[in-house]
């Protein structure tokens, strides 16, 4: 089965992202809007407990931080995903680096670009239209992030939370 590690932003930011995801993201029904800290990787259900312990340890030594978004960006031409760009503040980069190091056997080849996807798997024409309309939009938003989550995927592709980790907490 697949596991992943994500941050869920506030309800307001999730509602905002969903207003686009509803039309432009085929994963809309499978997972709430999120910032991915560790991409999906395969492991067994029995591994969940140990993963949680490792993430708990990381979380204790991490700090809450301010999530800031300023604009909408795109991964085109690598892929046709459109996202809310999240400022790579030091605490977030450190949290990601610690998780990446601890789960190095499951590492991804992508560089870490903190983001919240609002559209993906778009055709080139759709991508041009949507990104063209959104690229100049200013999204000046800040919010406090004090937790992240370990998730696993069900057979239907949807994700369930296994455990929550509070940043800087025992």
Least separation in angstroms between CB 115 and a copy of itself: 18
Q: Three-state DSSP class for 111?
A: coil
Q: Three-state DSSP class for 64?
A: coil
The verdict on 3 binding a copy of itself (CB under 8 A) reads no
Per CB under 8 A, contacts with a copy of itself among 142-161 are 147, 149, 152, 154-156, 158-161
* In contact, 39 and 110? CB cutoff 8 Å: yes
Quick one: which of 4, 8, 122, 145 contacts a copy of itself (CB under 8 A)?
Answer: 8
* Cα radius of gyration rounded to whole Å, the chain: 16
Least separation in angstroms between CB 18 and a copy of itself: 5
Token reading at 54:
């490792």
The verdict on 29 binding a copy of itself (CB under 8 A) reads yes
Angstrom distance (rounded) from CA 81 to CA 58? 30
Q: Which range of residues in 13-21, 60-68, 113-121, 124-132 is near a copy of itself by CB under 8 A? A: 13-21
Least separation in angstroms between CB 79 and a copy of itself: 24
- Distance (Å) of CA 107 to CA 1, 89, 90, 110, 153: 16, 21, 20, 9, 18
The verdict on whether omega for the bond into residue 77 sits within 30 degrees of 0, i.e. cis, is yes
The verdict on 66 binding a copy of itself (CB under 8 A) reads no
Catalytic, out of 34, 96, 106, 149: 34
| Residue nearer to a copy of itself on the CB measure, 3 or 103 | 3
Angstrom distance (rounded) from CA 32 to CA 25? 11
* In contact, 17 and 84? CB cutoff 8 Å: yes
The verdict on 14 binding a copy of itself (CB under 8 A) reads yes
Least separation in angstroms between CB 42 and a copy of itself: 13
The verdict on 71 binding a copy of itself (CB under 8 A) reads no
Task: Please confirm, yes or no, whether 106 is among the known catalytic residues.
Answer: no
Q: Provide the annotated active-site residues.
A: 34, 115
């Amino acid at each position: 089965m697949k596991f992943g590690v994500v941050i869920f932003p506030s309800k307001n930011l999730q509602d905002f992202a969903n207003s686009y995801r509803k039309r432009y993201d085929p994963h809309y029904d499978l997972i709430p809007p999120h910032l991915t800290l560790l991409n999906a990787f395969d492991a067994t259900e029995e591994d969940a407990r140990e993963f949680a312990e490792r993430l708990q340890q990381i979380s204790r030594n991490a700090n809450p931080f301010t999530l800031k978004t300023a604009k909408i960006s795109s991964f085109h031409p690598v892929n046709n995903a459109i996202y809310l760009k999240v400022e790579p503040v030091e605490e977030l980069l450190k949290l990601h680096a610690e998780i990446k190091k601890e789960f190095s056997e499951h590492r991804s080849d992508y560089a870490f670009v903190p983001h919240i996807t609002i559209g993906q798997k778009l055709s080139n024409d759709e991508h041009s239209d949507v990104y063209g309309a959104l690229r100049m939009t200013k999204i000046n938003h800040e919010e406090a992030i004090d937790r992240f989550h370990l998730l696993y995927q069900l057979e239907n592709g949807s994700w369930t939370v296994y455990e929550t980790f509070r940043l800087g907490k025992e």
